[in-house]
Every structure is written in C-alpha cells, then in structure tokens.
Amino acid sequence: MRVGPFIPSLALACSLADPLDIGELAGSVPRWQQERQLAYLRFACARPLDPTRQSQVLIHLTCERRLDGFALAPGSVPDDAWDDRFARMLRLQDMSDLNALRFLSLVYAHSGHPALSSGLWARVDEALLSFKYWSSDPTPERVLDGAPVTDSMWYWSENHSLIFRTAEYLAGQRYAEEIFAVTGLTGEEHRERARPQLLAWLDYRARWGFTEWHSDVYYALDLEPLLMLVEWAEDEEVSARAAMLLDLLWLDVALHLHHGNSGGTHGRSYIKDKAAAELNDTFDGSKLLFDDTRTDWADPASQLAGLLSLSTAYALPWVIREIARDDAPMVDRERMNLPVDERPPSAWDTPAPPPPYELTYTEADLPLWWSMNAFAAWPLLPLTFAVAGRDGLWDSQLADLAVLTKLVDTTQGPGGIMEDFHSLYRSLWTSLNARLLEEVHTTTYRTAATMLSSAQDYRKGSIGRQVHSWQATLDERAIVFTQQPRRLPRAAGEPIAPDFDWRVFDEPGPGYWTGEASLPRAGQIDNVAIVLYAPQYTPTPLFANYGYRDETHAYFPVAHFDEVVQHGGWTFGRRGDGYVALYSHNPTSWRLDQPAVYRNGGLPFDLVATGVQNAWIVEVGDAAEWQDFAAFRAAIAAAELSVVPVADQDGDGHGDGFDVTYASPSRGTVTFGWHAPLTVDGLEVPLHHQQRIDNPFVRAPFDARRYEIARGDDRLRLDFTTGERSATPPPAGW
C-alpha cells in the first residue's frame, strides 16, 4: 500500500491565543486589491458597451471613474434600453428582485450620470418606488397587455430572501421620505421593516452556514447584496455584519477553489455553470480576489466583479486570499444547515420532534424553513397549507405543489388535512420534497494538483432537484462527476436533442446533467470516495418531471485531459500532474452524437453505465505522490475490489444498492454500503461532522458565532456576538 501525505484537519498549526499583530480591518481597500480591481476593469471596458445590461453599464461608469481617459458619452444608454426590466418588475415576474437590486447599485454608485437621460433615471426611481418587496404585501391591481398581473416572484430561497430584504432596505434608505405605491409605507418604514429580517438572515448563516452550500451560482447572488450593504448601508451594525458574512462566504469559496474552479459539491447548480471554471458565476469575482487561474477573465458584465471593482469599503482579509492560494494537502469538513424530518411518521398524529435552537414550526420562523425549500416536509405541511391558501400562493409561486390542494379537502382544519393526506404522503414524499435542502455534511480534499469534494450520506435515494453530489477537479476544465439522469420522453440513445444549447436553454432539474434523479449515498475519506446509486421511490404520473432513467453516467470530458485510458472497469485521466481514476461496477460505454457540454471538440464526455443501481469509486492522486501516471494506473487497476448487491433491507420495495470493499493503494482497505458505515482498515470514518467547519485553518463549533481563522502568522477573527472583525494586515507593499 502506498500511503499519501498525512492531512491535518483537527487542529490549527498554532494557538490563536498567541499575541498577534491583529487589528480592526480598515475600511479602505488595500493596494493589492485595488490593482486587481483595475485589472478587471481594463478587461471589461475594452469590450463594447451593451446598454441593455445593467451590470455592464455599472462597470463602464465605474471605468470612467477609475481609468484615465475612459468616458461614456451622454445618452450612451437609450431610454428604451431597460424596457423589458421595467416590464418584468411591473408584472412581478420571477427574478424581478434581482433587477431591483441592480437598479439600486446604479442609483447608489452613479445616480444622475448623463450617460442616462434624466427621464431614464426617473423611470428607475419609479420602478423602485412601485415594486412589491415581500410576498405578504398586497399584489397591485394592474392590468398589462389585457391581463391582470399575477405575482410569480420567488421570495423564499436563501439567496432570494436576502436579495428582497436588501433591495427593500436600500430602497427605503434611498427614498426615505417617499411613499411606496404597493404598501403606502414611507421608505423609512420599509427600511425599518427589512432591517430585523436582514440581521436575522446574517445571524442564521453565521451560526449554521449556508443552505445552498458551496454553490457558485447562488453564492454569487448572496455576495452581490452583501457587498452593497457594506458599501452603502448607513447603519453601521448592518454594514459591519454584512462584511463579516462576506468574509465567511469568501472563505468558503477559497476553501473549494482549485485553479479558479469552484469544484466542490453544490447544494444547487446547473450544467451550464459547473462544466468549467469560467462558467462558474463566481469566476470573475474569485479571479479578481484570488488570481489562481491561468484562464482569462470570462464575463465583461459580471455584476459581482463589477461591485468588487467599485468598492472602497470592503477589504478582503489577507488570510482568506492566502488560503485560496495554499497548495498544501488539506481536508475540509463542514456541517451546514438544519435537519428537517421529511419522511412521514407511522401515524398521522405522531408529533414531529421539535426543531432545534428554540425555533418553531410557526409563521415566525417560516422564512428560514422555506429558505430550505421545506414547503412539503411533514412538520411544515400544515403551515404551508395555511399560508399558501391565505396569500394565494398556489396559483403562482407554489404552482408546482398545487396538486396538493386537489388531493385533500383544504377547507378542513390542519388536523383533518393531515389525517386525510397521511397515507398518500407516504408514497409521494420523495417527489414532494425534491427541492428540499436540509442539513448537509461535506468533505473536500485538496492538493496542488487535485481536489475531491462530496456531500456525505445526503438524503440517499431521494430526488435532489439541483444538487451536485460530488466532483473531482484537476484544473479549470478537467473535471469528473457522476449523476443519475431524469427519465426523458426520448429514445434511450438520444437523451438530449442534437441541437440543444446547454448555455442558452438550461435543462430543468433534475435533468440529464443537472441535479440527481436519485441522490447517491456517498462516503469519502481524503482522496477516495465511494458513490452508490439506488433510487428509493417509484415515479408517479402526478409528478411527471420526476423519474429516473435505467442508468447512471459520468461527465468525463476527454478533450480536457492530457491522457484518458480505460482498463478493467476503470477510466483513468491525467491533467498535468493530477490524476483521477473512476470505476463503475456496471459496464460502461461512451454515449456519442450529443451536443457538446463545453468545448468538447467532438471527443467523448458522457460515460454511461446501464442499470438503475450502480456503485462508482473515485480516487485522485498526483505526481508528487506517485512516480508517474502509469504507476498510478497500475496500482489502482491491481487493487482488490468487491461489489456485492444488497437486498431490500428496509422493506420499502426498493433495492439497497451494494456493499463495496476497495483496497485503495493510497488509503488502505475502504468499505462502504447502502446501510454499512464507511471504514478504512476496519476503523469507522464518521460521515456526519460535529463541527461547523474543520480544516487546518479554522475549527469552529456548530451553532457558534465566533470564528478564528489562521494561516501561518496571518489571522482573522470574526465574532458575531460582539461585532468584532479584526485581522492581520497584508505584507508591506501589498
């Protein structure tokens, strides 16, 4: 057995109680960050202005302020440039909150600039003053294009709840004396209404982490409003706590970054974003701050990078930058979010266990539970029926769950509804909770050449609508992951239409590459993971979008590797000094003649294994650990390996996958099964982590509000109980 380097993970290298040169973070942006701001602006403003994109207008106006000789002529943005944005906001269509937020960034950063006419600036003001800022506000009686307006905005996901509250807060602050048309409240009243909700959002994430864990897509949408609060909130407590949450978010990005690629497991993501580093929504922002990729800037209209480039108030702590760029072997273990009991009880009137941390299943805590998409989790169902019926949500926001109202008599009280619905729920609960994001335990292993990340034993056999369960990352585009695809109404040999464009028309999740039609049970020890698929539900016509194909498959893009070799059930890939080995228990073949996912150059990328149940094994290694790629391949191909089917042990009518024994040449004998624990050389490896975050740089308890982060002599202290944010400064000259 070849044993890899010891990976410390339980203790910091030195005591954080040592005297340190640590002080309150200054509001000014350090020199190194200013230089990175200018680098992005030079890239972005060398591209022609598209005046229809709010973010690009923001960036070009910032270039005028920051770059010598750059200017936008008066009237550069036509008066009709944003007609579609204004119309979306008036119609209360989904994502209108993001339009409101981006209009506010323009108002705060560049209000009155002559690139926009005074009439267009007035239309922006009007749109913000006539917007609906929360679901419980009255829906305006508007008729547009001959049809009454229906509120179809999504308020409750983790990122949307922050965006709505930030937009309301900053709009209220900006227009403090104005009357807002929807509510009749003044701006000051709106600001005061949003403030406690914002502070609660910040506190929950400080204590329990992020529902949409490690998600490049939705972290980008969290980072934008937080940056705006740091930059423009006049309330010092709001601004300071937003800066602290920004630090935690950037720390999470830094810990899961490899060659610019946000390559961790994701609570929510899509194939259009995760197939390459430059497709990540955080890419330009993380490149600006961490500069750890050879790939050029990707998006000249990145709102995240644009806000970072104009900021004079947010200084990234130096230690976070250095953690992102640290190539020493590392394991990061994290616990995030809260548990929710989605499974039906044995009897309808069995009381649900009370939620933790003095929370309740009442409307007072509804924004938190609904931010986890726990609409149909059994303890939340009575409340969902009551609030959705009262606020008219079944017709729009919760239309995909409106089938519930057709299955029960909603005129009954909560008890009658639950009694009638219980037996049906037992067969539908997996489909009903396809969106649910509950407590997760993630493990990420990273070296200079490789990264492997997975969600441990997460909702096994259930639907994961946009969950990205695991990924091996060797560089910006050399990535590998598996997925169980959704059942599609097409022939088995043509799962995706040949002219499908992944970048323009993203598939609904769980789709062919996005999400999981059934979540695997994954167990990871450092550089080795075993991933087991065994769907634990029967598809139903009531939820036609949810079902699974009789296969699992892997994204293994040959075009982005230097070498790909197959031998004895294993597919091996090399990119530079990084190596990956992927094993499928079921025989595999390349599925060809599909539209490229991303620059696949006509080479294979879709490795398909037939069979609903399957066992996959992945191991990563590098040249520092092995003599060469041939030695890595030979050792793994010769490893003893056993995969044994497991009968239906829990009596639910679904097979329970496999028990796997794999003699890893780097880790030792690894065993794992659908019900069996993960062991290495006979010792059990916990799949559920006790700490909120545990790696060589920080170890913080779950439900704590204090983080001590260290790398060498560099430190950062975040104390949400006192509001302290202090750090060692960058080195001299930086």
Check residue 678 and give its pLDDT.
98
DSSP 683-721: EE--SS-SEEEESSS-EEETT--EEEEEETTEEEEEETT
Q: Residue 581 in contact with residue 633, Cβ under 8 Å?
A: yes
User: Which tokens belong to 699?
Assistant: 């170890």
The average pLDDT across 507-528 equals 91
Check residue 19 and give its pLDDT.
35
DSSP E strands, 118-253: 143-144, 147-148
Whole-prediction pTM value? 0.95
Q: How far is 687 from 679, CA to CA, in rounded Å?
A: 10
Question: Which of left, alpha, beta for 653 (phi over 0: left; psi -120 to 50: alpha)?
Answer: left
Q: How far is 4 from 632, CA to CA, in rounded Å?
A: 12
Helix/strand/coil for 77:
strand
Q: Residue 280 in contact with residue 261, Cβ under 8 Å?
A: yes
Q: Can you list the alpha helix ranges (DSSP code H) found in 490-628?
A: none
Q: How far is 572 from 591, CA to CA, in rounded Å?
A: 17
Check residue 494 and give its pLDDT.
53
Which is it for the CA torsion 321, 697, 458, 521, positive or negative? Answer: positive
Give pLDDT tens digits for 319-335.
999 999 999 999 999 99
Q: What percent of the chain has pLDDT over 70?
A: 94
User: Which tokens belong to 50?
Assistant: 């598209």
**β-bridge mates for residue 579, sequence order:** 574, 621
Q: Residue 413 in contact with residue 317, Cβ under 8 Å?
A: no
Which is it for the CA torsion 280, 281, 287, 290, positive or negative? Answer: negative
Given a cut of 50, is residue 9 above it in pLDDT?
no
Q: How far is 678 from 675, CA to CA, in rounded Å?
A: 10
Name which of 249, 241, 248, 264 is nearest 304 in CA terms. Answer: 249
- Structure confidence at residue 509 as a pLDDT band (50, 70, 90): low
Name which of 352, 351, 378, 380 is nearest 368 in CA terms. Answer: 380
Domain range summary for the chain, segments of one domain joined by +: 23-335, 363-432, 457-687
Q: What percent of the chain has pLDDT over 90?
A: 80
User: Which tokens belong to 154?
Assistant: 């999504």
Given a cut of 60, is residue 576 above it in pLDDT?
yes
Give pLDDT tens digits for 134-172.
999 999 999 988 889 999 999 999 999 999 999 999 999
Q: How far is 300 from 61, CA to CA, in rounded Å?
A: 13
Check residue 540 and give its pLDDT.
85
Given a cut of 50, is residue 7 above it in pLDDT?
no
The average pLDDT across 289-296 equals 97
Q: How far is 558 from 554, CA to CA, in rounded Å?
A: 12
Phi then psi for 20, rounded to 5 degrees?
-135, 155
Check residue 400 and give its pLDDT.
81
Report the mean per-residue pLDDT for the chain. Answer: 92
- Structure confidence at residue 229 as a pLDDT band (50, 70, 90): very high
Please confirm whether the linkage preceding 510 is cis (ω < 30° from 0).
yes
Check residue 517 and give its pLDDT.
95
Check residue 218 and give its pLDDT.
97
Name which of 454, 484, 718, 496 is nearest 600 in CA terms. Answer: 496
- Structure confidence at residue 501 as a pLDDT band (50, 70, 90): confident
Check residue 650 and give its pLDDT.
84
Give pLDDT tens digits for 96-114.
999 999 999 999 999 999 9
Residue 561: partners with Cβ closer than 8 Å, 6 or more residues away: 474, 478, 573, 574, 575
Using CA atoms, how far residue 450 sits from 86, 314, 663, in Å, is: 45, 31, 21
Check residue 27 and give its pLDDT.
65
Q: Residue 708 in contact with residue 726, Cβ under 8 Å?
A: no
Check residue 505 and give its pLDDT.
61
Q: Residue 593 in contact with residue 491, Cβ under 8 Å?
A: no
- Structure confidence at residue 11 as a pLDDT band (50, 70, 90): very low
Q: Residue 622 in contact with residue 578, Cβ under 8 Å?
A: yes
Give pLDDT tens digits for 584-624.
999 999 999 888 999 999 999 999 999 999 999 999 999 99
Sequence-separated contacts (24+) of 643-650 with Cβ below 8 Å: 643/585, 643/615, 645/613, 646/673, 646/674, 646/675, 649/674, 649/675, 650/675
**β-bridge mates for residue 622, sequence order:** 578
Q: Residue 4 in contact with residue 708, Cβ under 8 Å?
A: no
Given a cut of 90, is residue 279 above it in pLDDT?
yes
Check residue 546 and give its pLDDT.
85
The average pLDDT across 334-359 equals 92
Given a cut of 90, is residue 309 above it in pLDDT?
yes
Given a cut of 50, is residue 535 above it in pLDDT?
yes
Give pLDDT tens digits for 31-90.
999 999 999 999 999 999 999 999 999 999 999 999 999 999 999 999 999 999 999 999
- Structure confidence at residue 18 as a pLDDT band (50, 70, 90): very low
Residue 350: partners with Cβ closer than 8 Å, 6 or more residues away: none
Q: How far is 623 from 4, CA to CA, in rounded Å?
A: 11
Helix/strand/coil for 654:
coil
Check residue 416 and give its pLDDT.
77
Q: How far is 483 from 276, CA to CA, in rounded Å?
A: 17
Q: How far is 333 from 266, CA to CA, in rounded Å?
A: 14
Quickly tell me which residue has 């305006």 as its tokens: 140
Q: How far is 267 from 113, CA to CA, in rounded Å?
A: 40
Using CA atoms, how far residue 423 sits from 348, 377, 420, 428, 543, in Å, is: 8, 15, 7, 9, 17
Higher pLDDT: 18 or 345? It is 345
Higher pLDDT: 506 or 420? It is 420
3-state helix, strand, coil in the chain (%, to 5): 30, 20, 50
Check residue 26 and give its pLDDT.
61
- Apex 217 CA angle, 211 and 220, nearest 5: 90
Higher pLDDT: 2 or 115? It is 115
Q: Residue 320 in contact with residue 250, Cβ under 8 Å?
A: yes
Phi then psi for 335, rounded to 5 degrees?
-120, 125
Quickly tell me which residue has 């309301």 as its tokens: 168
The average pLDDT across 444-458 equals 98
Name which of 91, 48, 517, 47 is nearest 296 in CA terms. Answer: 47
DSSP category for residue 538: -
Least confident of 12-16, 213-217, 332-336: 12-16
The average pLDDT across 291-301 equals 97
Check residue 3 and give its pLDDT.
40
- Structure confidence at residue 224 as a pLDDT band (50, 70, 90): very high
Give pLDDT tens digits for 117-134.
999 999 999 999 999 999
Describe the strand order of the beta sheet including 668-673 as a list of residue ranges.
641-645, 658-664, 668-673, 679-680, 683-684
Exposure string for 672-698, b = 16+ CB within 10 A, e = fewer? bbbebebbbeeeebebebebbbbbbbb
Given a cut of 90, is residue 419 above it in pLDDT?
no
The average pLDDT across 637-641 equals 98
Phi then psi for 719, rounded to 5 degrees?
-125, 100
Q: How far is 670 from 683, CA to CA, in rounded Å?
A: 9
Q: How far is 591 from 324, CA to CA, in rounded Å?
A: 36
